[in-house]
Amino acid sequence: MNVIRSGIILAAGDGKRLQPYIHHLRGDTLPKQYVRFGGRRSLLEQTVRRVECLIPPDQLFTVVGRHHLEFPEAAMQLTGRPPGTVIVQPENKETGPGILLPLLHLIARCPDSAVAIFPSDHYIPEEALFLGYVDLAFRAVEQNPAQLLLLGIEPQAPESEYGYMLPGRRAMDGVGGVKRVIRFVEKPGRPDAEQLIVNGGLWNTFVMVVQGAALMDLIHRLAPELYQEFSSIRRAIGSGEEREVTDKVYRTLEPLNFSKGVLERMEQDDPLRVTVLPVRGVSWSDWGSERRLVAGLMKAVAECRDDVGWS
């Protein structure tokens, strides 16, 4: 059986914490994922290039904000994507709607696929190694569809601005290394982060792999209000009323964080289990703050990383 693999890139955020830095750097507020921080490729372009090593372009959906398209650089970077794969949100309503909207389009095109979800602001110098883990995650979900599998990075320091996952001791059957997640901890203080690392805690990359239909069912069960709000959008996809219906839903839509509103609400006996694949040897960073961005840039310059598009 040839299993279809699809992907979603989350690029609808505005990166508000970095906007003062970007304004100082460029004189505008172009969202960080479109900024070419000294290299040839933006974070979004790097993410697309990386993910297309595993997922065909016409199966890779990118969700963006409508106001992003007012920036010529953002519009240029999205030009040439396969038809129907750039999904435009009227406004940013957090990661719950940011995942569900492209998921509806993805399922309309390929209802039986496994889907990997990627934030667009990650710095990953060891791309080939990281993609090997993503491929392993796909194989684990294809072998055991009753799981939502997150990639967890072995911490390099007690970082207080990251989310952590605490894995259980017992690995699941199937592809090696996968464990149940027994606890999520969001942005712990330094002493708590140090203790989490001692206990085997992993950084939550928010990169996940899951069967598309299973994810839809999970949102239906744990975020029924969001699911119901989007039912009219689902019916309108592909019609001449799609934009009008989407705009109407978003005008009154309450924001929902996917981690807090869905993942952390899952019970231990949930039919879809939250699991984690520990990732080793990858110096991953979420460029969500000026401190981490500058540190990443300095490291890239020092190591002359061609894989981030350095001239």
| CATH architecture designation of domain 5-308 | Alpha-Beta Complex (3.90)
What is the number of other CB atoms lying within 10 angstroms of the CB of residue 122?
A: 21
Amino acid 171: pLDDT: 64
212 or 296, greater pLDDT: 212
CA distance 263 to 208: 11
Q: Which residue carries 């710095």 as its tokens?
A: 123
Q: Which two tokens mark 219?
A: 């949102």
Amino acid 270: pLDDT: 84
CA distance 27 to 273: 46
Is the CB of residue 270 less than 8 Å from the CB of residue 167?
no
- Give the pLDDT confidence of 129-178 residue by residue, as tens digits: 999 999 999 999 999 999 999 999 999 899 998 999 999 976 666 677 89
- Give the pLDDT confidence of 182-191 residue by residue, as tens digits: 999 999 999 9
- Give the pLDDT confidence of 86-115 residue by residue, as tens digits: 999 999 999 999 999 999 999 999 899 999
The amino acid at residue 246 is: T
> Residue 3: which pLDDT band, with cuts at 50, 70 and 90?
confident
Distance, first Cα to last Cα, the chain: 43
The amino acid at residue 282 is: V
Amino acid 310: pLDDT: 44
CA neighbours within 13 Å on the CB side: how many for 213? 9
For the segment 57-78, the average pLDDT, to the nearest whole number, is 97
Percent of the chain whose pLDDT exceeds 90: 76
* Domain range annotation of the chain: 5-308
What is the number of other CB atoms lying within 10 angstroms of the CB of residue 211?
A: 21
Q: Which two tokens mark 143?
A: 């072998």
Is the CB of residue 282 less than 8 Å from the CB of residue 129?
yes
Q: Which two tokens mark 245?
A: 């219906």
